[in-house]
């Protein structure tokens, strides 16, 4: 079989090319320019916040967010365990220690009941992850954070267009961060954003993301010769205006991209209900799931590796879900989290993107059923 159903696929075309052409014509291609400013304004509206800062990637946004919230050496940050390790890495970049919390067995985000048990005098904040885009339990997490005097941060890497109890992802914590990597719902290939309602946090993050000074555009049009002064060491975490132009076009597409993904998710759920030994993911009624990925849970007796081999041999791409972060050697192996570890072993990501057709989703499910029947 020569045709393959892709695991993920961006939706880009003439609109993005026209946006790039306009940036080329403007002469301002570098980071934090006028196109970045335009994107930030529109993305803040999508996220429901007063401020948005475009960054080179989500890792940069995570590091900036943790830094401006005050995480540092000697601190502990409670982190949802089931996530790409960039989440835990970003805590380590500040000098703080990630303390991983086990997850809900149904939606795979941080379990608020576990969070409470992990708080120590060294705990300064909670970093929740919207796993595959579905927001975590922010009402419960906010109550815990307020009760213990902690800050709350949202890793919304996969969550563009999601919502929780009527509020958009990005507005659910003190700071939130997004990814625009090629596998995400909207993408410039790479890129990220930080959102917040706190003007002081936003201002410091903007300064730190340009080596410790405000971006050059703030001096554009000056009639004298401003000489910026560096009073702290920042980073080069800017998004280029070329990438920002792509993101503006992607924001125009966002409603349709979300509708397409949700239609595919609904069709998957209907078809997967016909198959034994596999469980479809849960989407809770009080939140809108953007379906950045579609991850099924195989029964304990299923050989996931054999299923994956069969799918790939028959032209259906697949992957594991994400990481049980606490198991990664970089974190020292000090914790044992049973729910996350179990799901890490049994999850299988099947194709999900906005370009999927009904025929392709049917083919994926039929091939998965054949794989399970062959074991």
Q: Which one of the listed residues 51, 104, 142, 184 is annotated catalytic?
A: 184
Tell me the C-alpha distance between 85 and 322, whole Å. 9
Rounded mean pLDDT of 123-143?
98
- Asked if the model's pLDDT at residue 100 lies above 70, the reply is yes
- Asked if the model's pLDDT at residue 242 lies above 70, the reply is yes
> Which of 289, 287, 272 is CA-nearest to residue 365?
272
Bigger pLDDT: 370 or 218?
A: 370
Rounded mean pLDDT of 234-262?
98
**Is residue 184 annotated as a catalytic residue, yes or no?**
yes
Q: What is the pLDDT of residues 160-181, one digit of tens each?
A: 999 999 999 999 999 999 999 9
Count of CA atoms in the C-beta half-sphere (13 A) of 135: 28
Percent of the chain at pLDDT > 70 equals 99
Task: Please give the pLDDT value at position 221.
Answer: 84
CATH number for the region 14-251 comes to 3.40.640.10
Rounded mean pLDDT of 105-115?
98
Chain-centroid distance of CA 123 in Å reads 23
Q: What is the pLDDT of residues 253-295, one digit of tens each?
A: 999 999 999 999 999 999 999 999 999 999 999 999 999 999 9
Tell me the C-alpha distance between 81 and 222, whole Å. 48
Tell me the C-alpha distance between 268 and 278, whole Å. 12
What does the block give as tokens for 79? 């982190």
Task: Please give the pLDDT value at position 24.
Answer: 98
Q: Judge contact between 96 and 75, C-beta under 8 A.
A: yes
Please state the φ and ψ torsions of residue 52, each to the nearest 5 degrees: -140, 145
Return the bridge partners of 349, or none: 295, 319
- Asked if the model's pLDDT at residue 1 lies above 70, the reply is no
Q: What is the pLDDT of residues 323-358, one digit of tens each?
A: 999 999 999 988 999 999 999 999 999 999 999 999
Q: Judge contact between 102 and 336, C-beta under 8 A.
A: no
The class that CATH gives domain 254-374 is: alpha beta
Tell me the C-alpha distance between 32 and 235, whole Å. 13
Q: Which residue has the tokens 């995400």?
A: 184
- Asked if the model's pLDDT at residue 140 lies above 90, the reply is yes
**In the chain, domain spans:** 14-251, 254-374
Rounded mean pLDDT of 213-227?
91
User: In a 3-state reduction of DSSP, which class is residue 236?
Assistant: strand
What does the block give as tokens for 31? 């980071």
- Asked if the model's pLDDT at residue 2 lies above 90, the reply is no
Task: Please give the pLDDT value at position 220.
Answer: 87
User: In a 3-state reduction of DSSP, which class is residue 302?
Assistant: coil
Return the bridge partners of 238, or none: 55
Tell me the C-alpha distance between 193 and 155, whole Å. 11
Rounded mean pLDDT of 35-48?
98
Q: Judge contact between 10 and 187, C-beta under 8 A.
A: yes
């Amino acid at each position: 079989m020569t045709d393959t159903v892709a695991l993920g696929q961006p939706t880009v075309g003439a609109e993005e090319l026209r946006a790039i052409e306009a940036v080329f014509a403007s002469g301002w291609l570098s980071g934090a320019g006028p196109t970045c400013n335009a994107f930030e304004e529109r993305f803040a509206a999508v996220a429901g916040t007063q401020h948005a800062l475009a960054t080179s990637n989500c890792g940069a946004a995570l590091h900036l967010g943790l830094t401006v919230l005050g995480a540092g050496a000697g601190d502990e940050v409670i982190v949802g365990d089931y996530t790409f390790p960039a989440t835990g890495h970003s805590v380590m970049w500040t000098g703080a220690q990630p303390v991983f919390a086990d997850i809900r067995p149904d939606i795979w985000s941080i379990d608020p009941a576990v969070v409470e048990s992990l708080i120590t005098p060294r705990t300064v904040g909670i970093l929740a992850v919207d796993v595959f885009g579905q927001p975590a339990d922010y009402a419960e997490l906010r109550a815990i954070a307020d009760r213990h005097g902690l800050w709350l941060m949202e890793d919304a890497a996969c969550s563009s267009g999601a919502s929780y109890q009527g509020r958009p992802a990005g507005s659910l914590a003190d700071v939130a961060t997004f990814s625009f990597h090629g596998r995400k719902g909207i993408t410039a290939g790479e890129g990220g954003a930080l959102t917040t309602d706190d003007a002081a946090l936003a201002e410091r993050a903007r300064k730190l993301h340009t080596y410790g000074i405000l971006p050059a555009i703030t001096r554009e049009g000056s009639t004298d010769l401003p000489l910026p002064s560096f009073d702290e060491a920042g980073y080069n975490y800017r998004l280029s205006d070329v990438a920002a132009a792509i993101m503006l076009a992607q924001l125009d597409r966002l409603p349709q991209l979300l509708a397409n993904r949700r239609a595919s998710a609904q069709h998957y759920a209907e078809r997967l209900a016909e198959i034994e030994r596999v469980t479809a993911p849960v989407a809770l009624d009080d939140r809108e799931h953007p379906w950045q990925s579609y991850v099924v849970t195989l029964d304990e007796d299923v050989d996931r590796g054999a299923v994956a081999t069969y799918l790939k041999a028959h032209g259906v791409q697949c992957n594991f879900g994400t990481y049980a972060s606490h198991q990664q050697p970089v974190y020292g192996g000090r914790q044992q989290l049973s729910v996350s570890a179990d799901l890490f072993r049994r999850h299988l990501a099947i194709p999900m993107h906005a370009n999927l057709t009904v025929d392709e989703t049917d083919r994926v499910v039929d091939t998965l059923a054949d794989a399970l029947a062959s074991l």
